[in-house]
Structure 1
Amino acid sequence: MPCCKTCTTALYITAPARCSPNGMKYLLPVRLLLLTSCLYRRLTSASTMAAMWPKVILFRDSITQYSFKDGGWGAVLADKLQRRCDVLNRGISGYNTKFGSIILPKIITKETASNVAMVTIFFGANDASLPEINPQQHVPVIKYKHYLQSMIDYLKAIEINEERIILIGPPPVDEKAWEVECIKKGSTLNRKLAVTGEYSKACCEVADTNNINCIDLWTSMQKVQNWSEFLADGLHLSKKGAAFLEETLTPIVLKKLEYVGLQFPYWADIDRDDPAKTIEAYNPYCPSQ
């Protein structure tokens, strides 16, 4: 029996490989590629486990780049996934979806995709910049949806399906606080709450179209009294805001990764007379076996 949903999906998709002998030469490479994601990890010995340690990739702009600061949402998520997955911060400050769609294939390649357990895509705050004030970062909402979709399509093309993707929409903007920051930099207010809300809605629409989990920060944060406390400067997350996001994101991630156990067996379960036997036989993707 398959050990997890990934195995089940792979075995189901590759069933047509049992066709006529003439078709085997064409279907076999496809079959092997689809099985790589989970079965290869099941069969890989502990001696090569370092290369296959599952990865959760946080992809976005500065709100993700700063997520590993003290109390940051990325740091807390990494702590909760310790010894199960490596959480990689791939936040690139200032980037929008247009720029992000170009660098995503450089961050996650076809060769490295097999051990990517989860990807978060968290764009919109820069795309929503007002075009008349900040044309460098602005992306029209229609194009924003297009670039989000292109990133999803790319991930699917390298066998990272919708179950392993989470979209996160932009948080609300505290215009009064952010205007102070803009003036400090010699600009006028370059983002507005209502405009950012349009991008949040668009993000959710793309997620719904693709049957992908989406976190709507713009809406959920504003349901809390004094929601401006979630923002450090009117745009970026404060510690309270980071905690809000982490508490929303972590249950989704843990549910999706419940098939991943601890990497390497618990110390008390190791046969002290023959530790290599226990370690080599251990399967972190079916830890009960």
Structure 2
Amino acid sequence: MRPSIVLFGDSITEEAFGEGGWGAHLANHYSRSADVVLRGYSGYNTRYQYGGDCAGLPERTNESAGAYARACVEVAAECGLRVIDIWSKMQRFPGWESSFLRDGLHLTPRGNRVVFEEVVFALKDASLGLEALPADLPLFCDMDPNNPVKSFDE
């Protein structure tokens, strides 16, 4: 059975499958070895518990995002799970706010590239890189030109 990589999330994950998105890059990267599937939820205009009234909610500040990211990293460590700390990674680049985020939250193509590279590295580190997964179909260079059908029997 072909392995699956399932992406859970909100609008950021949903947009990952748009043009230049990290999910689309990941699906292309694993196209011969695994299915990359989106199981997300977009919070756009649906079931928003505050009905558009954001009064009293924490602002979307870098400080708040950093506190949230640190809490996520701590919980993952307590649970023995791998984590990709994108917030800390992006902080290392000058001008990251406009370079990686188009609206203060959603990723630009450059931000998507950073996420893609970090996810691929984490999967490889977990022994789930391309070299660890069998390809669905033989490579052209591995096919017998005199009997190409034989290459599909293996």
Range into which the TM-score falls when normalised by the shorter chain? 0.7 to 0.9
Question: Shift in Å at residue 273 of structure 1?
Answer: 7.9
Preserved CA contact (<8 Å) 2:84 2:122: no
Counterpart pick for 2:113 among 234, 243, 247 = 243
C-alpha change, 1:56 and 1:213, in structure 2 (3 Å) is same
Is 1:83 matched with 2:4? no
Counterpart pick for 2:66 among 194, 197, 205 = 197
In structure 2, the residue corresponding to 1:215 is in which secondary structure? Answer: coil
Quick one: which amino acid aligns to residue 260 of structure 1? L
C-alpha change, 1:273 and 1:61, in structure 2 (3 Å) is closer
> Structure 2: which 5+ runs fail to align?
none
Count of residue pairs brought into register by the alignment: 143
In 2, Cα distance between equivalents of 1:273 and 1:246: 35
Preserved CA contact (<8 Å) 1:63 1:91: no
Is 1:211 matched with 2:67? no
In 1, Cα distance between equivalents of 2:148 and 2:139: 15
Quick one: which amino acid aligns to residue 251 of structure 1? F
In 2, Cα distance between equivalents of 1:223 and 1:133: 30
Counterpart pick for 1:259 among 127, 132, 138 = 132
In 2, Cα distance between equivalents of 1:90 and 1:134: 30
Greater per-residue helix proportion: 1
Question: Shift in Å at residue 57 of structure 1?
Answer: 0.7
* Structure number, greater radius of gyration: 1
Counterpart pick for 1:71 among 20, 33, 36 = 20
Preserved CA contact (<8 Å) 2:7 2:39: yes
Q: Show the counterpart of 1:58.
A: 7
Deviations 1:86-127 (A, max 9, x none): 1112221129xxx9xxxxxxxxxxxxxxxxxxxxxxxxxx9x
In structure 2, the residue corresponding to 1:264 is in which secondary structure? Answer: coil
Question: Shift in Å at residue 210 of structure 1?
Answer: 2.5
Preserved CA contact (<8 Å) 2:10 2:41: yes
> Structure 1: which 5+ runs fail to align?
1-51, 100-125, 127-131, 139-188, 283-289
Quick one: which amino acid aligns to residue 73 of structure 2? C
Question: Shift in Å at residue 59 of structure 1?
Answer: 0.7
Question: Shift in Å at residue 192 of structure 1?
Answer: 2.3
In structure 1, the residue corresponding to 2:132 is in which secondary structure? Answer: coil
Preserved CA contact (<8 Å) 1:69 1:75: yes
Deviations 1:184-213 (A, max 9, x none): xxxxx8422222222111110121122222
TM-score (ref. length: structure 2): 0.78
Q: Show the counterpart of 2:91.
A: 222
Preserved CA contact (<8 Å) 1:73 1:245: yes
In 1, Cα distance between equivalents of 2:54 and 2:82: 32
Please give the root-mean-square deviation of Cα atoms over the aligned residues, in Å.
2.9
In 1, Cα distance between equivalents of 2:137 and 2:31: 12
Percent of aligned pairs sharing the same letter: 35
TM-score (ref. length: structure 1): 0.44
In structure 2, the residue corresponding to 1:89 is in which secondary structure? Answer: strand
Preserved CA contact (<8 Å) 2:5 2:36: yes
Higher relative contact order by CA 8 Å / sep ≥ 6: 1 or 2?
2
In 1, Cα distance between equivalents of 2:71 and 2:143: 49
Q: Show the counterpart of 1:272.
A: 147
In 2, Cα distance between equivalents of 1:264 and 1:220: 36
Is 1:233 matched with 2:103? yes
